A = this chain, B = another copy of it.
Amino acid sequence: MNKFTMFGKLTAHPGKREELISLLLESSLSLNDMEGCEFYIINESVDDPDAIWITELWSDAQAHADSLKNEEVLAVIQRARPLIAGIEPIRLRPVGGKGL
């Protein structure tokens, strides 16, 4: 299996999580046409009021790398940056389970 998963923990500046989520939801619309993106789900932490976790599943690592060259994606990253206090990316290889 060559699929590629990326988890990203974003920590918003205090009070900015809602705004950051709105921006991410808006940007996720541009992924609907991107074939290599199987899912891109935005989650808010139950226990940490500033944390957002993004779960991404891509057909392969190259599809993910290519998405970062997309102009719409780059524009969102630019707009989101002032809202973000920290980013912790986690690179994963999905190995199986239900719903893959």
Chain A contact residues, CB within 8 Å of chain B:
5, 7, 21, 24-25, 28, 31-32, 37-47, 53-55, 57, 90-100
How many copies of the chain does the oligomer comprise? 2
In addition to A21-B95, A24-B97, A28-B98, 12 A-B residue pairs with Cβ atoms within 8 Å of each other are A5-B41, A5-B55, A40-B97, A41-B57, A41-B94, A41-B96, A42-B95, A44-B92, A44-B95, A46-B93, A54-B97, A55-B55
Report yes or no: B57 in contact with A99, Cβ–Cβ below 8 A: yes
Contact with A99, one of B21, B41, B44 (Cβ below 8 angstroms)? B41
Q: Give the docked Cα–Cα distance between A43 and B96 (Å).
A: 7
A7 contact set on B, CB distance < 8 A: 7, 53, 55
